[in-house]
């Protein structure tokens, strides 16, 4: 039986009454929200619960007709579902989780459900790395789509070309953002060990997730576990400039290996025209295109996607042409509005490396004008203060820096002392908005960086800018 026939048989089983009611705990996380969309597309009834929900995931789920319950009351255990799918943000002590365990109800993790219900029999293309996963996954999915391959995908964001973060697709190919974070309260392996890819991009590897990993070596071990799951006929596309990835692969590699950002392998540089990139494999020039996203890091992301797409038969030149039609991802340097010549941009950057690269990309895209960097140190790693020594340097190329310190246990002002009077720290969001608004002037770009909703600061800034006009 072919892959398409097996998938058709599973969907036929759903149509014949084998559908389930699935209730998802932590449904508004980007990964679990994608799980919800896939389960719904497969014919299951899907409901879910979460706390502190915010767009774009909450609005995406509502648009798909998926009912959300605010909070994790134990009473939800009586909702009458066939299976609880539990996100990794749910810990022991959560009242609903405790009730599920006490009553012996059926549950699984998001990655385990995905592996068994969606990825089985698929050609999985996985994108792993500390930075750039969402962008690279979105680019790769679009390259396959543009080539007519109709891939399924699950992305930790919403690619504008598709308008949703996940879909089943109509072919054997499935592109997935492969996160190294842990799977669930009951499974502390990285999510990506469940996916069993045939094609894998290893984009980069730095220390992160200080709440679950003691050091970089522990993360390298998880990446090596991913490598160990790949078949001999699989292909790894890895960043040659990352010594951590060299260490991972030196521990054993049983699949084909291609390096990118490597003069002897896949490499890219600036094109003949502004905002263009030229792609090459060894001495062979493959093509040039206008880059849809600025920055050398996005050029590297695109290069990795071109290399991975070739493994499933997409010609590099076709992938490069498709890149020009790539429309970006929400919350990745997304322009939220322009009031009186002041742009408000939304970006997901929350690690010092990503912060520095994002500011650099904006600067190279348009050298003139000031950058007002607005940061919420919201990730678990940032909240622990693990990266505080690197914070000031990562923000040093911005003309002004504003940091929201509510909920942070370490001294943010002290960490930003090297920036002098360029930095402002406040634990009151309304006061911070007023300070930024008073400072902003025509030609400025306000770059808001957070991996959360940041209290709706983007719209608050736009409203405050409009009110002063």
> What digits encode the pLDDT tens for the residues 286-317?
999 998 888 888 999 999 999 999 999 999 99
30 pLDDT exceeds 90? no
Residue pair 51/76 in contact (Cβ under 8 Å)? The answer is no
User: Helix, strand or coil for residue 373?
Assistant: strand
Residue 25 has pLDDT above 70, yes or no: yes
Q: Alpha-carbon distance 69 to 61, whole Å?
A: 12
Token output for 287:
């093509």
Phi, psi of 199 (to 5 degrees): -125, 130
pTM over 0.85: no
Confidence check: pLDDT of 3 > 50: no
Asked if 172 and 46 count as a contact pair (C-beta separation under 8 A), the reply is no
Return the residue matching tokens 């001999």: 232
Kindly give, in sequence order, each residue whose CB lies less than 8 Å from that of residue 21, ignoring residues fewer than 6 positions away. 44, 45, 46, 47, 79, 80, 81, 82, 83
Chain-centroid distance of CA 109 in Å reads: 19
Query: Is residue 441 over pLDDT 60?
Result: yes
All structural domains of the chain with their residue ranges: 3-11+18-112, 122-323, 334-468
Q: How many CB atoms lie within 10 A of CB 469?
A: 7
Burial code of 391-416, b = ≥16 C-beta within 10 A, e = fewer?
A: bbebbeebebbbbbbeebeeebeebb
Sign of CA dihedral 324, 327, 333, 337: positive
Tens digit of pLDDT for each residue in 224-238?
A: 999 999 999 999 999
Dihedral sign computed on CA atoms, order 451, 210, 137, 304: positive
Instruction: Classify residue 363 by burial, with Cβ atoms within 10 Å: 0-12, 13-18, 19+.
Output: middle
* DSSP H helices in 53-122: 57-63, 95-103, 110-114
Compute CA distances 102 → 74, 138, 183, whole Å: 11, 40, 21
- Rounded distance between C-alpha atoms, residue 398 and residue 360, angstroms: 9
Give bridge partners of residue 167 from the DSSP assignment: 153
pLDDT(385) > 80 = no
* pLDDT > 90? residue 329: no
Q: What pLDDT is stored for residue 407 in this prediction?
A: 83
DSSP state letter for 179: -
pLDDT tens column, 141-184: 999 999 999 999 999 888 999 988 999 999 999 999 999 989 99
What is the pLDDT at residue 56?
A: 65
Closest CA to 129 of 189, 199, 179: 179
CB 227 within 8 A of CB 240: no
Per-residue confidence (pLDDT) for residue 12, from 0 to 100:
44
Q: 334-468 belongs to which CATH class?
A: alpha beta
Q: What is the largest CA-CA distance in the chain?
A: 67
- The tens digit of pLDDT for each residue in 356-384 reads 888 988 898 888 899 999 999 877 777 77
pLDDT tens per residue, range 388-421: 888 899 999 999 999 999 888 888 889 899 999 9
Residue 125 to residues 181, 208, 260, 357, 459, Cα–Cα distance (Å): 18, 23, 16, 25, 36
Interatomic CA distance for residues 305 and 201, integer angstroms: 8
Contact at 8 Å (CB) between 70 and 49?
A: yes
Mean pLDDT of the chain: 90
Q: What secondary structure, in 3-state letters, does 13-42 show? A: HHHHHHCCEEEEECCCCHHHHHHHHHHHHC
Band (266; pLDDT cuts 50, 70, 90): very high
Looking at 3.40.309.10, 3.30.420.310, 3.60.9.10, 3.40.1190.10, the CATH number of the domain 122-323 comes to 3.40.1190.10
Whose CA is closest to 82, among 18, 136, 21, 3?
Answer: 21
| CA dihedral angle for residue 351, residue 356, residue 362, residue 367, rounded to 10 degrees | 170
Instruction: State the CATH architecture for 3-11+18-112.
Output: 3-Layer(aba) Sandwich (3.40)
């Amino acid at each position: 039986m072919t892959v398409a026939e097996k998938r058709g048989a599973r969907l036929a089983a759903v149509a014949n009454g084998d559908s389930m009611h699935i209730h998802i705990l932590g449904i508004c996380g980007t990964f679990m929200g994608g799980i919800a969309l896939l389960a719904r597309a497969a014919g299951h009834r899907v409901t879910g619960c979460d706390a502190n929900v915010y767009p774009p995931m909450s609005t995406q789920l509502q648009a798909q007709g998926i009912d959300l319950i605010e909070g994790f009351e134990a009473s939800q255990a009586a909702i009458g579902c066939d299976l609880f799918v539990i996100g990794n943000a749910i810990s022991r002590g959560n009242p609903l989780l405790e009730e599920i365990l006490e009553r012996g109800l059926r549950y699984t993790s998001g990655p385990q459900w995905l592996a068994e219900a969606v990825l089985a029999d698929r050609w999985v293309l996985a994108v792993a790395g500390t930075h750039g996963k969402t962008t690279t996954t979105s680019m790769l999915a679009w390259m396959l789509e543009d080539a007519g391959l109709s891939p399924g995908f699950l992305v930790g964001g919403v690619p504008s070309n598709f308008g949703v973060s996940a879909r089943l697709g109509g072919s054997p190919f499935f592109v997935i953002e492969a996160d190294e974070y842990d799977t669930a309260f009951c499974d502390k392996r990285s999510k990506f060990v469940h996916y069993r890819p045939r094609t894998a991009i290893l984009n980069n590897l730095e220390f992160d997730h200080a709440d679950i990993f003691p050091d970089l070596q522990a993360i390298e071990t998880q990446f090596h576990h991913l490598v160990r799951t790949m078949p001999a006929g699989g292909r790894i596309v890895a960043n040659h400039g990352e010594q951590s990835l060299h260490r991972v692969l030196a521990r054993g590699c049983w699949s084909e290996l291609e390096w990118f950002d490597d003069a002897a392998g896949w490499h890219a540089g600036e094109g003949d025209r502004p905002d263009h990139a030229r792609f090459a494999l060894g001495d062979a020039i493959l093509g040039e295109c206008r880059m849809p996203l600025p920055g050398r890091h996005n050029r590297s992301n695109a290069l990795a996607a071109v290399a991975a797409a070739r493994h499933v038969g997409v010609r590099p030149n076709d992938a490069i042409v498709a890149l020009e039609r790539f429309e970006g991802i929400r919350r990745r340097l997304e322009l939220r509005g322009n009031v009186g010549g002041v742009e408000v941009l939304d970006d997901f950057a929350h690690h010092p490396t990503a912060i520095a690269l994002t500011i650099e990309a904006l600067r190279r895209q348009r050298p003139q004008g000031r950058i007002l960097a607005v940061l919420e140190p919201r990730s678990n790693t940032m909240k622990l203060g693990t990266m505080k020594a690197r914070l000031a340097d990562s923000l040093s190329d911005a003309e002004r820096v504003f940091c929201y310190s509510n909920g942070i246990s370490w001294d943010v002002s002290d960490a930003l002392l090297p920036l002098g009077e360029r930095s402002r720290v406040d634990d009151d969001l309304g006061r911070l908005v007023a300070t930024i608004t008073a400072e902003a002037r025509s030609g400025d770009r306000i770059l808001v960086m957070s991996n959360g909703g940041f209290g709706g600061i983007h719209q608050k800034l736009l409203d405050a800018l409009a009110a002063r006009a």
